Amino acid sequence: MADLQPVDLRSDTVTKPTAGMRAAIAAAEVGDDVFGEDPTVNELHRRAASLLGKEAALFVPSGTMANLLAFVSQSRPGDTVILHADSHPFNYESGGLGMVAGVLTKTLPGAHGILEPERVRAAVVRNEDHHYSHTTLVGIENTTNRGGGAFYPLRIVEEIAAIARENGMRLHCDGARLFNAVVASGTSAAGYARHCDTVSFCFSKGLGAPAGSVLVGDRATIDRAHRYRKMLGGGMRQAGVLAAAALYALDHHIERLAEDHLRARRFRQALEGIPQIGFPLPSPTNIVFLEVPDALACVGHCADCGVFMLPVSSTRVRAVFHLDIDDAGVDRAIAAVRDAAIAIR
């Protein structure tokens, strides 16, 4: 066991650059991107904007910064932003919405992290009465992280976009795992983006790059985001080394996400029927949540077998499938969880 590679299912952010990606990084032409002179970053901006059918794109260090820039660029302090109660910006981005964007958040329930259009409509406040904060932005997450990797049906995005438009509001899509949604749903990235004012997506998750996300939208919004990126310290100099990894990921790592989805399904199916293990959410993409009697005991037992998963509550464990997990890794993960189920019963 000791000489086996760990099977790290804690997150799809743990991937290491492949040999091909490392070669692309080594060969990258670079310049000072704060002067707008990095040719590889500029190429990435063109590619990302064109892939999503938008005017402009901005490369940023993280998904958190991409979301924050979307919020600060499309709202004013004191405005209200509608988000799902399970959304990443509300739960896991250190309160940047409050501290940096200065907005109020109205969080809504909805199965699997998906916002329900009628609840969104009911939550909007566009009232000239000075008592009220204006609702200026809706944020959706596609796929949903805490919702088990669920993807938005296009029809729901269209309906939420129509509500946003009727009320003079903006729609932002946190597409940290947008391409998992694209591959699972058959809806193109541009098909989703058409209904959104801004979309962010991450290169550092299923796409397998070491860092970086992008925010796309109309030119005026992305210009504002560019100013805020500078303000927040997100201007990177020879960022072409990272942009080269991102371009490589766009060329080589999108279609293969289907393999991660298949492996997630195989893992789940192999464990269904074990009495100590429940599945609180569907797993349509690369994320599987397990419900167990004792999450720490389960995770600890699996870690002893070289299989790493993330406890997300006292009874819930997350396993995420990605580029660095092959079929043998899935087999080891299944065996480890089966063993743990016997041990913790």
Ligand X SMILES: Cc1ncc(COP(=O)(O)O)c(C=O)c1O
Site residues, ligand X (CB under 6 A): 62-64, 67, 88, 141, 145, 174, 176, 202, 204, 213
Nearer to ligand X, 242 or 277 (CB): 242
The minimum distance between CB 168 and ligand X, in angstroms, equals 26
The minimum distance between CB 142 and ligand X, in angstroms, equals 9
Map residue 84 onto helix, strand or coil.
strand
CA distances from 332 to 62, 271, 308, 336 (A): 31, 12, 11, 6
The minimum distance between CB 2 and ligand X, in angstroms, equals 30
CA max distance for the chain: 67
Phi-psi region of 47 (alpha: psi -120 to 50; beta: other; left: phi over 0): alpha
Residues in the chain: 345
The minimum distance between CB 153 and ligand X, in angstroms, equals 18
| Residue 36, token pair as written in the block | 């707008």
Q: Which residues pair with 319 in a beta bridge?
A: 288
CA angle centred on 56, ends 55 and 62, rounded to 5°: 145
Nearer to ligand X, 8 or 341 (CB): 8
The minimum distance between CB 171 and ligand X, in angstroms, equals 16
Map residue 77 onto helix, strand or coil.
coil
Give dist(CA 267, CA 338) in Å, integer. Answer: 11
Residue found by looking up tokens 């060329």 in the block? 251
The minimum distance between CB 258 and ligand X, in angstroms, equals 20
The minimum distance between CB 113 and ligand X, in angstroms, equals 9
Q: Are 15 and 6 in contact (CB under 8 A)?
A: no
Contacts for 117-121 with beta carbons within 8 Å, 24 or more apart? 117/156, 117/159, 117/160, 117/163, 120/82, 120/160, 120/163, 121/163
Give dist(CA 80, CA 102) in Å, integer. Answer: 9
Nearer to ligand X, 138 or 277 (CB): 138
| Residue 181, token pair as written in the block | 């949604």
The minimum distance between CB 145 and ligand X, in angstroms, equals 4
Give dist(CA 168, CA 145) in Å, integer. Answer: 28
Nearer to ligand X, 105 or 204 (CB): 204
The minimum distance between CB 227 and ligand X, in angstroms, equals 20
Sign of CA dihedral 143, 148, 154, 158: negative
Nearer to ligand X, 38 or 141 (CB): 141
Nearest to ligand X by Cβ — which residue?
Answer: 63
Nearer to ligand X, 33 or 174 (CB): 174
Nearer to ligand X, 67 or 136 (CB): 67
Q: Please provide residue 281's backbone torsions phi and psi, each rounded to the nearest 5 degrees.
A: -140, 155
Nearer to ligand X, 221 or 286 (CB): 286
Nearer to ligand X, 66 or 277 (CB): 66
Residue 307 has what DSSP assignment?
A: E
